[in-house]
Amino acid sequence: MADLSRIAIIDYRMGNLRSVQKAVEHVGGAAHIVTRPDEISEAQKLILPGVGAFGDGMRFLDELKLSDAIRAFAQSGKPMLGICLGMQLLFDGSEEDAPSDAVDGLVPGLGILSGRVVRFDNDRGGQRLKVPQMGWNALRWDRPDPLLDGVNQGDAVYFVHSYYAQPTDESVVSMRADYGGDFCASVHKDNLFATQFHPEKSQRIGMKILSNFVGL
Amino acid sequence: MLMKRIIPCLDVHEGRVVKGVNFLNLRDAGDPVEVARVYDEAGADELVFLDITASHEGRDITLDMVRRVAEQCFMPFTVGGGIRTIDDVTKLIQAGAEKVSINTAAVIDPDIVAQTARRFGRCATVVNIDPKRVPREAFESRRRSLPGAGPARDQGPETRGEYIFEVHTHGGRKPTGLDALEYARRVVELGAGEIILTSMDADGTKDGYDIEITRAVAEAVDVPVVASGGCGSPEHMRQVFEQTRADAALAASIFHYGEYSIAQTKQVLIAAGLPIRPAA
């Protein structure tokens, strides 16, 4: 019998999940780690976290036979949150480590959202950018979002990444930040949410965002 | 816009913070979790834990500490010190460190940097570089004993012909024959996603960061550089941010002993027009 208040966090061998789990608990949610497709189908809310290389992430999701379960969950209408690599994997594919003969120059992703994941150019916006982007960057948005309740324009969250998503449909972009120009900091489409930043590492603002997700 | 980071550095020995933080009424100034919480609330942007535990058994205590910090502090932190092998790296990451900082092991065998980046990503891979000025002659003669090393390159107009920034280990006691700029470029090529640059000339002086080497390294590489060593006041942080491309400034005693608060420090930097995340 599924516990309706619980959030399933997918463990697919891409990094330590404990800080995500503890952060969810800190804001009053209940979280458990899942590794099997049936556990994903049963979940009431789902978090796909992850740090590391895109190709490794997809390979492990496929090996553990989780990809179809995640796609089905995204269709179910139940709330889902991707974090960092977990956001990037939702897209059609990534340029990260793509072989020269890759279709469209991409390592394929889950294809739940349409768009590609690209690397920050070191000369993006005519500046000499450090890549990875590492640190706190200010969020901006054009329309209200359920995750942003209690968050103010310009509040900063913690990013650590070299690649970022470029959604085909711009209307899914729910937050932006500026690194040599605008980039997509988060997306929201129906029941699907994803952040490029790490709410679980973003102190008070991050806890607020996670708490909003828990409260959906 | 990406903000400049202010990073308190905590020395830990067998899971305890040494030179404990004494600016607030902590129940236990040696408890890493409690100290991290205080810095979290004070508005620190990140923490670095530098493990000075020597014994093998002590490493397990360190891992337990990392686990507790990761579970209870929702802020970014790096763990460095005592990392010898990729197995040490793996254990720290599994315990919840999101970045590990490699120092001596990368000098001995730079391949550990490549292995760490391959397994855990460039974003998790930090290399600590400890440069120190040495007379060019002394450096060149050490260099000749290294297989395949050419003459040192000039590092800037100030240093031409006089001294070289040589990478040291063991807290500045052991020279390596490596030119800090060449070494920085090399570890970034291998996969370092960030460099913590601790000037052995400035460290402990509280006279300010070593602007010359920080500027040179931060120009030489296109990954974030954390300036470290010599901070005695918020003014020193302003200088290093205004005069170099450093992305973060690390400090220890000015915060731990309550000489300046994080909030005070950030006010000085914000007033100077620097991009800084306000404290609380």
Q: Consecutive 10-residue runs of chain B (280 residues): their mean pLDDT?
A: 96 84 68 92 95 82 93 93 93 92 96 95 96 91 74 56 89 91 97 98 95 96 97 98 98 91 97 94
- Asked if the Cβ–Cβ distance from A129 to B222 is below 8 Å, we say yes
Q: How many domains does chain A have?
A: 1
Chain A: give the shortest CA distance to residue B240, in Å.
17
Which residues of chain A are within 8 Å of residue B70 when distances are taken between CB atoms?
A: 16, 18-19, 22
pLDDT cut 90: percent of chain A above it: 89
Model pLDDT, residue B156:
54
Which pLDDT tens digit goes with each residue over B106-145?
Answer: 999 999 999 999 999 999 999 999 999 999 888 888 888 7
**How far apart are alpha carbons B242 and B211 in whole angstroms?**
10
Q: Would A1 be classed as within a structural domain?
A: no
Q: Would A188 be classed as within a structural domain?
A: yes
Domain range holding A136?
7-214
- Asked if the Cβ–Cβ distance from B70 to A22 is below 8 Å, we say yes
Half-sphere exposure in the Cβ direction for A43 (13 Å, CA) = 30
DSSP result, A26-43 = HTT-EEEEE-SHHHHHH-
Model pLDDT, residue B151:
62
Residue to mutate among B65, B92, B123, with most A CBs inside 10 A, is B123
- Asked if the Cβ–Cβ distance from A18 to B71 is below 8 Å, we say yes
How many of the other CB atoms lie within 10 Å of CB of A15?
24
Q: CB-CB: which of A18, A128, A178 is closest to B1?
A: A178
Q: Would A199 be classed as within a structural domain?
A: yes
**How far apart are alpha carbons B263 and B53 in whole angstroms?**
31
Chain A: give the shortest CA distance to residue B181, in Å.
17
Confidence of residue A196 (pLDDT cuts 50, 70, 90): very high
Q: Can you give the pTM of this predicted structure?
A: 0.94
Model pLDDT, residue B152:
61
Which residues of chain B are within 8 Å of residue A127 when distances are taken between CB atoms?
A: none
- Asked if the Cβ–Cβ distance from A161 to B94 is below 8 Å, we say no
Average pLDDT value for residue range A11-25 = 89
Nearest C-alpha neighbor of B132 from the set B237, B239, B236, B229: B229
Model pLDDT, residue B141:
87
Q: Would A162 be classed as within a structural domain?
A: yes
Chain B: give the shortest CA distance to residue A61, in Å.
16
- Asked if residue A196 lies in contact with residue A84, where contact means CB atoms within 8 angstroms, the answer is yes
- Asked if the Cβ–Cβ distance from B120 to A138 is below 8 Å, we say no
Which pLDDT tens digit goes with each residue over A121-161?
Answer: 999 888 899 999 999 999 999 999 999 999 999 999 999 99
**How far apart are alpha carbons A31 and A7 in whole angstroms?**
5
Confidence of residue A1 (pLDDT cuts 50, 70, 90): very low
- Asked if residue B92 lies in contact with residue B66, where contact means CB atoms within 8 angstroms, the answer is yes
CA A173 from centre of chain = 12
Q: Would A48 be classed as within a structural domain?
A: yes
Which residues of chain B are within 8 Å of residue A136 when distances are taken between CB atoms?
A: 2-3, 5, 45, 277
- Asked if the Cβ–Cβ distance from B76 to A130 is below 8 Å, we say no
Which residues of chain A are within 8 Å of residue B193 when distances are taken between CB atoms?
A: 132, 134, 162
Which pLDDT tens digit goes with each residue over A96-117?
Answer: 989 999 999 999 999 999 999 9
Model pLDDT, residue B85:
95
Which residues of chain B are within 8 Å of residue A160 when distances are taken between CB atoms?
A: 76, 98-99, 123
Considering B45, B51, B88, B130, which one is annotated as catalytic?
B130
- Asked if residue A91 lies in contact with residue A118, where contact means CB atoms within 8 angstroms, the answer is no
Average pLDDT value for residue range A18-22 = 91
Model pLDDT, residue B97:
92
Chain B: give the shortest CA distance to residue A136, in Å.
6
ipTM of the complex, rounded to two decimals = 0.93
- Domain harbouring A101, CATH code: 3.40.50.880
- Asked if the Cβ–Cβ distance from A51 to B98 is below 8 Å, we say yes
Active site residues of A: 84, 198, 200
**How far apart are alpha carbons B235 and B272 in whole angstroms?**
10
Confidence of residue A51 (pLDDT cuts 50, 70, 90): confident
Q: Would A2 be classed as within a structural domain?
A: no
Residue in the structure block whose two tokens are 């120092």? B103
Residues facing A48 on adjacent strands? A82
Q: Would A143 be classed as within a structural domain?
A: yes
